[in-house]
Amino acid sequence: MKEAKLVTADGHSLSLAGEWIENPEGVFDKQDCERKAFLRLTEKLKKQYSRLPICILADGLYPYENAFQ
């Protein structure tokens, strides 16, 4: 599961939203992955917290064109 958390200055964290990474049962063309879940998660965050300024902290998997958009 990919999860978005709000982290306070004193170290507390609160979950804002989450997105499951899972493949459907049976035959499928492409597998679900962290990048696809990240894009779905960011769409949720944009809708639910449209006025909240967000800083994304991520590892080396995410610096690609779709993530920056």
Segments making up each domain of the chain, as ranges: 2-68
| pLDDT tens digits for range 41-65 | 999 999 999 999 888 888 898 888 8
Interatomic CA distance for residues 54 and 6, integer angstroms? 9
- Percent of the chain beyond pLDDT 70? 100
Q: What average pLDDT does the chain have?
A: 90
pTM here?
A: 0.80
Mean pLDDT of 26-47: 89
Which secondary structure element, helix H or strand E, spans residue 37, and what is its range? helix 34-48
For the beta carbon of residue 34, count every other beta carbon within 10 angstroms. Answer: 15
Burial class (CB in 10 A: 0-12, 13-18, 19+), 25: exposed
Most confident stretch, 2-11, 17-26, 51-60: 2-11
